[in-house]
Homo-oligomer: A and B are copies of this chain.
Amino acid sequence: MSRYVSVLLFIVAFLIASISGSAFATTVSEATESCLDCHESVTPGIVADWKASVHAKITPAEALKKPELSRKISVQKVPDKLKDVVVGCAECHTANPEKHKDTFEHNGFQVHIVVTPGDCATCHPKETKEYGRNIMSHAYKNLTGNPVYKNLMDSVNAIQYYHGGKLSYASKVGEQTEADSCLFCHGTKVEVKGMKTRETEMGEMKFPVLSGWPNQGVGRVNPDGTEGSCTSCHTRHRFSMAMARKPYTCAECHKGPDVPAYKVYMVSKHGSIYYSQGKNWNFEATPWVPGKDFSAPTCAACHVSLLANEDGEVIAKRTHQMNDRDAWRLFGLVYAHPHPKSADTSIIRNKAGLPLPTELTGQPVQSFLIDKDEQLKRTKRMQNICLSCHSTQWVKNQFARMENTIKTTNQMTLAATKILLDAWEKGLAHKDNIFDEAIEKMWVEQWLFYANSTRFASAMAGADYGVFANGRWYMSKNLQMMKDWLDFKLAASKKK
């Protein structure tokens, strides 16, 4: 009997060996071989990760032969130099050397540290272009280049001092703090600040010194002038589509009280199915077939992935413009509103001249926002996915509820805004900086935490995140607390 076992074990072992060993030996470029020579021992973790990646297993030429729906590269023709080697260290880290201010001489190669969407576009131009239309890709500028938002950012990050019975904010926030705070997700500005010589295992070497590094934020400004970081979601050095399809990737930035998408997903029926059964799903399949490959959507299924039915009919096209299936912008701003037309939101001006997509009292600044037709188109794209499992009435009513929630949460934000306006008018707070005082921070929480959470709960069916878990309960309580604050402040001010 034990002979059978041995034979079986041998077969299994061989199988595993043949899968993991694979056949890439001959298709690694000489340049990459050269990188690997040292880096297999210097940074074994990332080399191992890369070896497990699709990049290490298939050449662009082979990838191009796949049927269109299964293809993951969008370029029509791969440069000759690249087409017959797998995508290794050198293929990315030496691409477009002339564009990269972080290019440096490294063992005879012109290497750069920061691989960018510009580099990835060599094989993935369509995805790069779509991502450029994604608000995320402008996240650095949208935040730091918008005076209102920059003001909010500073009032979060600045050190405060207490002297002589008065609190004051430091006038400047350090680069390290910003990189660790808002810009961790939004992306830093990565610039070459000089060169530095360092003693390494391989002797003395020179490396560029980078500002804002490390960072993998979605709107990172790169040394080649491009914006964004594909590795925010396609984590180095596996660059796994399967991983990006799992909700943990999105959770890296979308879990806090300001944007609790992941938390809502966790308690939704969809999330519950995923956590219970997801380990048996096929996260590698392209196109991705609802019912066959997975039983409930993840973030990517609704917002990004190419979905098709078993007959190969497309249910939703792949998009890296993340709002391509979203009519409404649910979070981040004071009021929910139709999505902006341009991914660069710093260009928006409302009637008051502020760079905000609504007035302070909620009216959308329509000229900068998508119109009803475009909203309908996006809604239909999303609903087409829902209809794989849900009836028309189910889907229609689900969306109607979400639109009702947009309306009611905007009303609850308006009430908070009116209390704040009253505070300013009565001189109990000062609107020179609209984010620095207690009542202003309570106002911010009304929309940034509670209204946002309620809207996410409504959009993704996450129950308590629209009620007691930072939902309607807090919107309601916060208003009462804000009103009391006005009264207390008035009493305290008369006392002085």
Q: Which residues of A approach B to under 8 Å, CB–CB?
A: 1, 4-5, 7-8, 11, 14-15, 18, 41, 43-49, 52, 113, 155-163, 165, 167, 174, 176-177, 179-182, 184-185, 198, 200, 207, 209-210, 213-214, 216, 235, 238, 240, 242-243, 246, 248-249, 251-253, 255-258, 266-269, 271-273, 275-277, 279, 290-292, 295, 309-310, 387-394, 397-398, 400-401, 404-405, 408, 411-412, 415, 418-419, 422, 436-438, 441, 448-449, 457-458, 461, 463-469, 471-473, 476-477, 479-481, 483-485, 487-492, 494-495
Could you list some 24 contacts between A and B, CB below 8 A? A4-B7, A41-B309, A45-B389, A49-B389, A113-B391, A156-B476, A160-B476, A162-B419, A167-B415, A176-B400, A176-B401, A177-B404, A180-B457, A181-B471, A184-B467, A185-B464, A243-B277, A246-B275, A248-B276, A252-B269, A252-B463, A437-B480, A438-B481, A491-B491
Given contacts A11-B4, A412-B159, A448-B468, whether A401 and B180 have CB atoms under 8 Å apart is yes
CA distance A1 to B266 in the complex (A): 44
Judge whether B235 and A466 touch: CB under 8 Å. no
CA distance A167 to B465 in the complex (A): 24
CA distance A491 to B404 in the complex (A): 40
Q: Which of B11, B213, B398, B457 contacts A393 (CB 8 A)?
A: B213
Q: Which of B11, B240, B248, B490 contacts A492 (CB 8 A)?
A: B490
Q: Which of B160, B267, B277, B483 contacts A412 (CB 8 A)?
A: B160
Judge whether A441 and B480 touch: CB under 8 Å. yes
Judge whether A48 and B291 touch: CB under 8 Å. yes
Closest 8 CB pairs of A and B: A48-B291, A256-B464, A45-B389, A256-B469, A438-B480, A176-B404, A491-B495, A162-B418
**A166: nearest chain-B partner, CB-CB:** B483
Judge whether B495 and A45 touch: CB under 8 Å. no
| Contacting residues, chain B, for A398 (C-beta < 8 A) | 214
Given contacts A8-B11, A266-B251, whether A184 and B491 have CB atoms under 8 Å apart is no
| Contacting residues, chain B, for A48 (C-beta < 8 A) | 290-292, 295
Shortest CB–CB separation between residue A106 and chain B, in angstroms? 12
Shortest CB–CB separation between residue A282 and chain B, in angstroms? 12
Given contacts A240-B276, A463-B184, A491-B491, whether A160 and B415 have CB atoms under 8 Å apart is yes
Judge whether A258 and B213 touch: CB under 8 Å. no
CA distance A343 to B255 in the complex (A): 36
Given contacts A180-B405, A252-B267, whether A479 and B185 have CB atoms under 8 Å apart is no
Shortest CB–CB separation between residue A102 and chain B, in angstroms? 11
Q: Which of B47, B158, B252, B467 contacts A181 (CB 8 A)?
A: B467
Judge whether B272 and A389 touch: CB under 8 Å. no
11 additional A-B pairs beyond A248-B275, A490-B492, beta carbons within 8 Å, are A5-B14, A43-B388, A43-B390, A47-B291, A156-B476, A158-B476, A255-B267, A441-B476, A487-B489, A491-B492, A494-B495
CA distance A159 to B476 in the complex (A): 8
Most buried by B among A249, A255, A418: A255
